[in-house]
Amino acid sequence: MKIYDYPAFPNPARVRIALHEKGVFDQIEFVTIDVPAGEHKSARFAARNPSTAVPVLELECGTFISECTAITEYIDNAFDGPRLTGTTAKEKATIHMMQRRSEQMVMDAVGSYFHHATSGLGPDIESYQNAEWGRHQQNIAKKGFEYFNEVLKDRRYVATGDFSMADITLYCGLGFADFVKVDVPASLEHLHQWRSQVAERESVKAAAAG
């Protein structure tokens, strides 16, 4: 199995943490796509993922799977180890719901701010920018931080009683927010406490180490 990605970027980090959680990181061949140089915009890469974004998983049979959620589902179902996407019908649905909220309200909102309201990946890659939309998304992210702070008030993890794909997405979304300097207010103590706890996981430390 191969994963095409760019280490240290927030979406690739989601899949790398999932692989470490499952204990199978070493079974994957990683191929670096030079995103800052625009390699992901090439026709060759677009044939693997029409969204021209990393990460992309390539299976032995030649099938390409993009979208972190789909890749994480594949990894979770293909390997033993702790479940990241739930076991019961209720767990699966709840994790999906909270993972999507983590994406929409934090990860993707911060991403839109980065790509539209800052210089993003530079003029050669950011062919369309709408700063007003970017600032609107920044506000969505700030509301997202507040939402998750409330969620985590009386819960150890974002979706269920166990660490899941939803936690991974939110954690990486907050890392992206740090990078683009969208502050998470210190007053959001439950969110900060949860984040410190997740940062201590072996999978998270291993993914950060590269």
Ligand X SMILES: N[C@@H](CCC(=O)N[C@@H](CS)C(=O)NCC(=O)O)C(=O)O
Which positions lie near ligand X, rule CB under 6 A?
9-11, 35, 40, 53-54, 67-68, 111, 115, 121, 125
For the CA atoms of 168, 97, 161, 179, the dihedral, rounded to the nearest 10 degrees, stands at 20
Pick 9 or 74: Cβ nearer ligand X: 9
Q: Which is nearer to ligand X, 165 or 188 (CB)?
A: 165
Angle at 148 between CA 144 and CA 153, to 5 degrees: 150
| Of 99 and 149, CB closest to ligand X | 99
Helices (H), the chain: 10-22, 43-48, 68-78, 89-102, 108-117, 131-151, 165-179, 189-199, 202-209
Q: Tell me how many degrees the CA angle 118-124-129 measures, rounded to the nearest 5.
A: 40
Closest contact distance (angstroms) between CB of 97 and ligand X is 16
Smallest gap from residue 186 Cβ to ligand X (A): 26
CB of 188 to ligand X, least distance (A): 24
Residue 43: partners with Cβ closer than 8 Å, 6 or more residues away: none
* Minimum separation from the CB atom of position 13 to ligand X (A): 8
Nearer to ligand X (CB atom), residue 48 or residue 115: 115
- Taken as a whole, the chain contains a residue count of 210
